[in-house]
Amino acid sequence: MPDLSDQESTSTSAIPLDATGGEAKARFAKAIEEAKAGATALGKQAQDRAGSYGAQLTEQISGKGSELVEGAKVVGESAKELATAYADVGKTHASDALSTLGRFVADSALTLDEKVGEKAGDVARGAARSIHEAAAALESKDLAQLGEDAKAFVRKSPGVAIGVAAFAGFVLARMFRSGSED
């Protein structure tokens, strides 16, 4: 460690002291001013660096945000395609179920002819024909057309639509409730 006593003696001997110490005060004030200027320069440099880091961080965040948005778009498109595929499968199953129901009602028409009467059989045959036509119409339309048809039906008959929705909800609830008790 250097000997500071030598430095002190040289530095104090270089500074002439007057009776009031005015020159020492002036040098001290000058040193304070230089320290303030240095602190201001350091503060400015720190602000510049912080601004630079902030700009880099903002750029990185916006880049990540863009990546996330693009990823979300890809996932959304994939989900849309998957939902469309499932809806097409559901439409096919519904059409098949209606066809099966139509055949069942048509087969029941002969039994109704024998047991209840010919009028009941004719009503059953008419219902079977209507069910087959509905199945064929369902199969022939795409999902967009079915959506438009549903919207038109709801606008035309909102009360019936609410009743059908309530009935369908009741049936689905009963199906799920009976399935969960097994």
**Could you list the pLDDT tens digit for every one of the 182 residues in the chain?**
444 444 444 444 444 555 456 788 888 888 888 888 888 888 888 888 888 888 888 887 877 878 888 888 888 899 888 888 888 888 888 888 888 888 888 888 888 888 888 888 888 889 889 888 888 888 888 888 888 988 998 899 989 889 888 988 888 888 888 766 65
Residue 156 has a pLDDT of 92
C-alpha distances (whole Å) from 86 to each of 78, 82, 90, 100, 143 are 12, 6, 6, 21, 11
Q: Are residues 129 and 160 in the same domain?
A: no
Q: Are residues 148 and 92 in the same domain?
A: no
Q: Are residues 75 and 86 in the same domain?
A: yes
Q: Are residues 116 and 62 in the same domain?
A: yes
CA dist., res. 139 & res. 50, Å (int): 65
Q: Are residues 102 and 78 in the same domain?
A: yes
Q: Are residues 171 and 136 in the same domain?
A: no
Residue 128's CB: how many other CB atoms inside 10 A? Answer: 19
DSSP string, 7-57: HHHHHHHHS---SS-HHHHHHHHHHHHHHHHHHHHHHHHHHHHHHHHHHHH
Domain containing 90 equals 28-140
Number of domains in the chain: 2
Q: Are residues 80 and 168 in the same domain?
A: no
CA dist., res. 165 & res. 22, Å (int): 97
Q: What is the pTM (predicted TM-score) of this model? A: 0.50
Residue 20 has a pLDDT of 56
Q: What percent helix, strand, coil does the chain show, rounded to 5?
A: 90, 0, 10
